[in-house]
């Protein structure tokens, strides 16, 4: 188990290094530099270039960048003067984190219950409704869900706040837009693996022992059917985080996603690099944790990692 964790951890570090190198050189490959402006006098431009260390040789800049990165210093934003990238990220990520965490919890709870109910009532009306819901959830893009619910439920009916993130009510619409797809996916995963598990011999034994149906589905069925859902947790986190980029734009949440799209349109290179690396770290750790979770839930995995 420890060897498994160690290997995965090493992989993450390697990937981050590759990504940092890739982003660095891709950014430098773009023609021009951020201070190329007709109006700026040459002397001032040179001073700026020297200030940001852009006058040095490329390999020197790269080494300096990596050195700073190791110390957690992501540089200074070009377009929001006076703020370091780290400051921007730590301020805005709080919003994204709150929204994302709520969306993840909601997706898992609703998705698993939907899938379970639909497996228990296999081929009955409830199951058919659940299947239709999950197919729709997979096919309707989150930005369409977000703008339509914002208009009808927020602006027309005035039931819920239209934008921003203050107060628990304002979480409902963005969370719905973010979790629609993961809910649908988790429901499908749970349903199909639950159907498979429910035909297993130990379920028959449990029934023969006279356990109540609810106890059988929860204790014997769900525990085994949940495995595919656990593996999906990593990709789901990625999904919700990338989804939050667009949902934050629509609901005007001052989160990290907003800053990311703005930094791309503004060509604010240090900010782009910083946020890219930050996202990558989060996504990789989410996948890492999901893998560990999987190893802990799946007894077969435990055995093979112990032996090897």
Partner 1 sequence: MDNVNEKRRPLPDPRKFVPLKKRDFAQQQMAPSYTTWKLATMKLTANKFAMGAGIVLALMIIMAVIYPLFTPHNFRGQSLLNTFTAPGGSYYFGTDDLGRDLFSRSWKGAQISLTVGILAAIADVILGIIIGGIMGFFGGKVDEVLNKITEILYSIPYLLIVILLGVVLGQGMFTLIIALVATGWINMAWIVRGQIMQLKNQEYVLAAQAMGSGGFRILFKHLIPNTMGPIIVTMTLTVPSAIFAEAFLSFLGLGVQSPAASWGVMINDSLASWQLYPWTLLFPAGMLCVAMLAFNIFGDGLRDAFDPKTRVE
Alpha-carbon gap, residue 161 to 89, rounded angstroms: 26
Considering the complex, state which of residue 96 and residue 276 has its C-beta at the smaller distance from partner 1.
Answer: 276
Alpha-carbon gap, residue 266 to 193, rounded angstroms: 46
DSSP secondary structure of 72-101: T---B-SSSTT-BHHHHHHHHHHHHHHHHH
Would you call 39 helix, strand, or coil by DSSP?
A: coil
Considering the complex, state which of residue 6 and residue 299 has its C-beta at the smaller distance from partner 1.
Answer: 6
Taking CB under 8 A as the criterion, the residue among 94, 203, 283, 301 binding partner 1 is 283
Q: Look at the block and give the residue holding tokens 């951020």.
A: 34
Neighbours of 138 (CB within 10 A): 15
Stretch that binds partner 1, among 68-76, 94-102, 168-176, 280-288 (CB under 8 A): 280-288
- Residues 139-158 close enough to bind partner 1 by CB under 8 A: 139-141, 143-144, 147-148, 151, 155
Q: Is residue 14 within the footprint of partner 1 (CB under 8 A)?
A: yes
The least CB distance from residue 280 to partner 1, in Å, is 6
Q: Is residue 21 within the footprint of partner 1 (CB under 8 A)?
A: no
The least CB distance from residue 111 to partner 1, in Å, is 17
Q: Is residue 231 within the footprint of partner 1 (CB under 8 A)?
A: no
Site string for partner 1, 239-268 (x = CB under 8 A): ---x--xx--x----------xx--xx-x-
Alpha-carbon gap, residue 178 to 239, rounded angstroms: 9
Q: Is residue 23 within the footprint of partner 1 (CB under 8 A)?
A: yes
Q: What are the CA-CA distances from residue 55 to residues 33, 135, 137 (Å)?
A: 11, 54, 51
Taking CB under 8 A as the criterion, the residue among 5, 12, 160, 162 binding partner 1 is 12
The least CB distance from residue 41 to partner 1, in Å, is 28
Tokens of 236: 């789901």
Q: Is residue 284 within the footprint of partner 1 (CB under 8 A)?
A: yes
Would you call 64 helix, strand, or coil by DSSP?
A: helix
Per DSSP, 151 falls in state: I
Q: Is residue 105 within 8 Å of 99, Cβ to Cβ?
A: no
Alpha-carbon gap, residue 4 to 305, rounded angstroms: 7
Taking CB under 8 A as the criterion, the residue among 1, 21, 30, 122 binding partner 1 is 30
Q: Is residue 71 within the footprint of partner 1 (CB under 8 A)?
A: no
Count of alpha carbons within 13 Å of 111, Cβ hemisphere only?
Answer: 33
Count the site residues for partner 1 by CB under 8 A. Answer: 41
| Residues in touch with partner 1 (CB under 8 A) | 11-12, 14-15, 18-19, 22-23, 26-27, 29-30, 135-136, 138-141, 143-144, 147-148, 151, 155, 238, 242, 245-246, 249, 260-261, 264-265, 267, 272, 276, 279-280, 283-284, 287
């Amino acid at each position: 188990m420890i060897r498994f964790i160690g290997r995965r951890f090493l992989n993450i570090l390697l990937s981050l290094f590759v990504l940092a190198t890739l982003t660095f050189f891709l950014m430098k490959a773009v023609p021009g530099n951020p201070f190329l402006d007709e109006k700026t006098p040459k002397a001032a431009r040179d001073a700026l270039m020297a200030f940001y260390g852009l006058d040095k040789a490329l390999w020197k800049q790269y080494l300096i960048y990596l050195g700073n990165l190791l110390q957690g210093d992501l540089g200074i934003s070009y377009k929001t003067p006076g703020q370091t990238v780290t400051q921007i990220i730590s301020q805005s990520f709080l919003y994204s984190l709150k929204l994302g965490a709520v969306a993840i919890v909601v997706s898992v709870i609703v998705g698993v219950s939907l899938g379970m109910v639909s497996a228990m009532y296999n081929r009955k009306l409830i199951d058919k409704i659940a299947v239709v819901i999950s197919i729709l959830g997979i096919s309707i893009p989150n930005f369409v869900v977000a703008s339509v619910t914002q208009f009808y439920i927020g602006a027309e009916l005035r039931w819920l706040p239209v934008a921003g993130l203050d107060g628990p009510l304002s979480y409902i619409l963005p969370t719905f837009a973010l979790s629609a797809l993961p809910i649908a996916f988790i429901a499908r995963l749970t349903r199909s693996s639950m159907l498979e598990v429910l035909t297993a011999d130990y379920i028959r034994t449990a029934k023969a022992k006279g356990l109540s149906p609810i106890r059988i589905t929860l204790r014997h069925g769900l525990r085994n059917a949940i495995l595919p859902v656990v593996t999906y947790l990593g990709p789901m986190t990625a999904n919700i985080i990338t989804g939050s980029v667009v949902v934050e734009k629509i609901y005007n949440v001052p989160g990290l996603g907003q800053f990311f799209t703005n930094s791309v349109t503004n060509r604010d290179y240090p900010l782009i690099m910083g946020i890219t690396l930050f996202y990558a770290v989060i996504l990789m750790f989410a996948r890492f944790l999901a893998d560990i979770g999987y190893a802990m839930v799946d007894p077969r995995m435990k055995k093979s990692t112990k032996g090897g």
